[in-house]
A and B are shown apart, each in its own frame.
Chain A
């Protein structure tokens, strides 16, 4: 092959320009990771680079392009001037476009022109993010509905009105994400039901009128909903594997339209991941019943988040959900806020669950843990009743003191874990203030009569090196006859491990 670059040929000592000589598709891949401004600047590198940016099939137009140090102009001004320029220069169809606008005083007509241009050129992946406005969200042009090759569509903070009569749906659409979009429930339902390939649906819609949506998606695998629509009905979702309902005062509505938690969940026989938050769990179901009258064998991951106010409620609802999912493997409880400590009732004690085992539970994670009695009982119960448990990971609520942590660990270590492999991790992610000096001798004194006959593995993170945790470590080493492994991670990330067999 003849040399393309004379300097390289004539001066064998000068280093090669490897970047320019990469395969063109690799150069595109690299440039597509950069902001549009960075990309356009490559045009000046050398003649070879002059038009490379015009051949990129994916464009990201965001604030970085319009904002400069001496930000004189506005988005509208810049967009009006540059977007026609970009479109005329672009020599390949744009398959993916991301347009992010953080601040917009007037809506430039060029945005509509841009969408029209994209619809004519077979856009496949479109993301339009407008700034949040309380009233008068920007209305999208009807040319949106002629982007018939769309596979991924994300819209934020805009208004979607009725499509033209000729619109028959996006028959290639795989994922649809609507955040803060104003749309009627009728149009939303029809958009979803006329996208026969839809696999992923994310809705973050505070309210909708009328406040009822029925979602049917023969290919739908994942549905993530955040908002206040009170009635959602999942109908004909035979492949749904992931469901997340958060911040929603939801009435669980069955196909017949009545509020019934069993009717809502029972048809979801393929569900594997379920994420619920406090509001979705208890507000509208009323009192969570002691057992929920349905069983889903497919659920493997359960996440309960934003649990707050009443630790007892958290624990009872966690327990009643876990009983409905006999094959659960991973459980994640994120506690947002506890206001008070309460005594756990007798009904939570291990002895009351003699007929229950959680045979598949492998991992339990709890964040924002404060060591209240109901929480402790839940953890004890899970340790005692889960023969397959591999790891229990407890992340403490930050202000919990080191001495309290020692107590939590000590208490949990006393439980006879059903699983021979169970590993207990107590984790604190930030330095807390050193405990007051009167706490120093507390641990050895209050635990001097204890032995931990079942503790096999302990991991302590965020250790500050002050006296109470050091005492705890000594104590654990001295009194745990079954201890196999202890891993200690100090607060500044330095790791030192001690193993004792």
Chain B
């Protein structure tokens, strides 16, 4: 924990979530987000984030803090942190990916997209629909037509599991 005198010397920012919770973080931690960086460059120290809810913001601040302290020797530690970070439900992942997209944090964005992709790769369309509650609005004839047009993509065995 930083001592109070240190806190005073460091430039701080306040982030406000969509549920009106406020979080104080160091400027150097916050500017890893392009969105925050642009605001800071324009002189803002209070940053309202109307698209980011508290739950996601807490996790993202954790991520930014961890990655702000990257050194040559804590590589392994960060890898473990990242692995735990993405080990969560799809709902959380989508919430986080939307927030990361809004905040323009590209390394987090890449990691989350890769995680989501890894979980749906090789899955059958039926399984993907069920996992994400996607409502199929094709008629059976329409669907058959599309399958036929790209027949190759539908050949082979697919993963039907829903996790």
Q: List residues of chain A with CB under 8 Å of any chain B CB.
A: 5, 7-8, 14-20, 22-23, 25-26, 29-38, 40-47, 49-50, 65-66, 68-70, 78, 82, 390-391
B70 at the interface (CB under 8 A from A): no
Given contacts A29-B109, A45-B128, contact A16 B133 (CB under 8 A): yes
Complex interface: chain A residues within 8 A of B87 (CB): none
Q: List residues of chain B with CB under 8 Å of any chain A CB.
A: 73, 90-91, 94, 97-98, 101, 109-110, 113-114, 116-118, 120-125, 128-129, 132-138, 143, 146-147, 150, 152-157
Q: A26-B101, A44-B147, A68-B155 are in contact. List 4 more A-B contacts (CB 8 A).
A: A23-B98, A26-B98, A49-B134, A50-B146
Complex interface: chain A residues within 8 A of B124 (CB): 41
Given contacts A29-B109, A38-B120, contact A47 B137 (CB under 8 A): yes
With CB as the reference atom, state the residue of chain B lying closest to A47.
B137
B104 to chain A, nearest CB (A): 11
CA distance A17 to B94 in the complex (A): 11
Contact B153 A41 (CB under 8 A): yes
Partner of B98, one of A22, A34, A38, A49: A22
Given contacts A23-B101, A45-B134, contact A38 B113 (CB under 8 A): no
With CB as the reference atom, state the residue of chain B lying closest to A25.
B101
Complex interface: chain A residues within 8 A of B128 (CB): 42, 45
CA distance A404 to B112 in the complex (A): 46
Given contacts A26-B101, A26-B113, A30-B117, contact A38 B122 (CB under 8 A): yes
CA distance A339 to B30 in the complex (A): 55
Q: Closest 4 A-B residue pairs measured CB to CB? A: A33-B117, A40-B153, A19-B132, A68-B155
Given contacts A23-B98, A65-B152, A82-B152, contact A34 B133 (CB under 8 A): no
Partner of B120, one of A20, A34, A46: A34
With CB as the reference atom, state the residue of chain B lying closest to A362.
B72
Contact A44 B138 (CB under 8 A): yes
Complex interface: chain B residues within 8 A of A19 (CB): 90, 94, 132, 134
CA distance A68 to B156 in the complex (A): 5
Complex interface: chain A residues within 8 A of B110 (CB): 29
Given contacts A18-B91, A30-B113, A45-B129, contact A35 B136 (CB under 8 A): no
Partner of B134, one of A17, A37, A65: A17
Complex interface: chain A residues within 8 A of B137 (CB): 46-47
Complex interface: chain A residues within 8 A of B133 (CB): 14-17
Complex interface: chain B residues within 8 A of A391 (CB): 73
Partner of A22, one of B97, B154, B155: B97
Complex interface: chain B residues within 8 A of A35 (CB): 121
Complex interface: chain B residues within 8 A of A43 (CB): 146, 150, 153
9 sample A-B contacts, Cβ–Cβ < 8 Å, listed by A number: A18-B132, A36-B153, A37-B153, A40-B153, A42-B125, A43-B153, A44-B147, A65-B152, A391-B73
CA distance A69 to B128 in the complex (A): 21
CA distance A50 to B137 in the complex (A): 11
CA distance A16 to B133 in the complex (A): 7
CA distance A36 to B122 in the complex (A): 11
CA distance A40 to B156 in the complex (A): 14
Residue from A8, A15, A19, A32 whose CB has the most chain B CB atoms within 10 Å: A19
Complex interface: chain A residues within 8 A of B123 (CB): 38
Residue from A36, A49, A70 whose CB has the most chain B CB atoms within 10 Å: A49
Complex interface: chain B residues within 8 A of A8 (CB): 135
With CB as the reference atom, state the residue of chain B lying closest to A329.
B72
Contact A34 B138 (CB under 8 A): no
Given contacts A31-B117, A33-B117, A35-B121, contact A20 B101 (CB under 8 A): no
Partner of A46, one of B98, B116, B121, B135: B135
With CB as the reference atom, state the residue of chain A lying closest to B125.
A44
Given contacts A26-B101, A29-B113, A35-B121, contact A41 B136 (CB under 8 A): no
Contact B129 A22 (CB under 8 A): no
Contact B117 A34 (CB under 8 A): yes
CA distance A30 to B96 in the complex (A): 13
Residue from B114, B120, B135, B138 whose CB has the most chain A CB atoms within 10 Å: B135
A389 to chain B, nearest CB (A): 13
B48 to chain A, nearest CB (A): 19
A47 to chain B, nearest CB (A): 5
Complex interface: chain A residues within 8 A of B138 (CB): 44, 46-47
CA distance A23 to B113 in the complex (A): 13
With CB as the reference atom, state the residue of chain B lying closest to A66.
B152
Complex interface: chain B residues within 8 A of A20 (CB): 132, 134
CA distance A42 to B129 in the complex (A): 10
CA distance A269 to B113 in the complex (A): 41
B154 to chain A, nearest CB (A): 6
With CB as the reference atom, state the residue of chain A lying closest to B157.
A69
CA distance A42 to B153 in the complex (A): 10
Contact A7 B135 (CB under 8 A): yes
Given contacts A23-B101, A41-B125, contact A46 B134 (CB under 8 A): yes
Complex interface: chain A residues within 8 A of B122 (CB): 38
Contact B125 A45 (CB under 8 A): yes
B74 to chain A, nearest CB (A): 13
